[in-house]
A and B are shown apart, each in its own frame.
Chain A
Amino acid sequence: MVKKSLFLVIGLFTFCLFASENSIESRLKNIVNTAFVKQNSIDSVVALATNNKMLSQKMAKCAVLIKNSIYVEKNHKVLLESAEKFDAFIHGMYHGDSLLNLKKETDTQVLDELSEVNEEWINFYTHVKNLYKEDKVDMLSYQYIIEHNEKLLKISHKLTQTIQSKTMFNTSDNQVLVNTLKFADRQKMLTQKMLKEKFLVYTNENKKRNNVKLRGSIILFRNGLNGLIQGDKKRGIAPVSNKAILQKLQDILTLYNASEALYIKQNVDMTKMKILTRVDNRLLQLSTEVFSMIQNTLVY
């Protein structure tokens, strides 16, 4: 009888222990899964917000290339695709978008800043759609895009930083990650801004001012790239230790070093400008890959 009771008590104890472990394990799994889902959602919204900054410059660059009759059909297609992506992010922020992994935004500050971007975007998008029709460039729309793309860039940047400040934790480790991502994101945008400015200089549009802007963009791009590779205390970036990211950054450096003289040189001919167009596409592609790799790595 005693043995039987003892056996039952031990059995009951083991069962409770097992059940409790299962319950803890299940709850832990739930917490981890929820955290992953939330992190994925944050990564998506931050990646898309930063992408819109780059797109503001890419659309302006495409407009300049179309106006200069460079790969017109292809650039017109890229222009419209870029505009659709920009628009999809705004729409997704307002209404949610499961394909883009965006939740309907509820934060009032983010919504206020989103509304500012949207207000600017509505007119900008109209001019993007009007820019090229029946083999002709609408100069009114062209001028609008050239005059307003920087406004779109800066308010998109403000929105990005506000989204980040609402979603990322404030720890010193995280601050390094935030800075590194910021510079990786800036590199993407700068590739487009540099080529836009280079073409504006080439076509003598506000040449003096665009030369200053181009010089500034080149300095920022070069410093940013070196900072991402070697680290930069002033900019709060740690040196890269991840071999795959380092390799990708060095690919960018090699390509950029081979082309920098063309960006800087005055009075280059159209053949060289076309070469820069191809370099720019590759720089953007590599820079986008780096941004994504940094966002998805645990060790930079």
Chain B
Amino acid sequence: MTATVVLVGLTVCTYALKAAAPLALGGRPLPESVVRLADLLPAALLAALVVVSGVAEDAAIAVDARLVGLGAAAVALSRRAPFVVAVVAACAATALARAM
């Protein structure tokens, strides 16, 4: 049920953001503060999502093999590995840590 509500709500919100300029605003520039906010928000939220999906288990902090995977992804990314390589490295390192 929650998933369906989110599906509808998020569809409306993301579509409104995508279509606002082509349908209504035209090419008029956005206020500078909105541009900066839109540019900075993803960094804060993505970092939070890394934390929450990396160390949370049922609303508590749980440190497990996922952290090994996250470390492997960080190493891969710092060596300019593409997205896929980083994600696969994370899975492989996590699997290895669990097998040991």
**A and B held together in a complex:** no
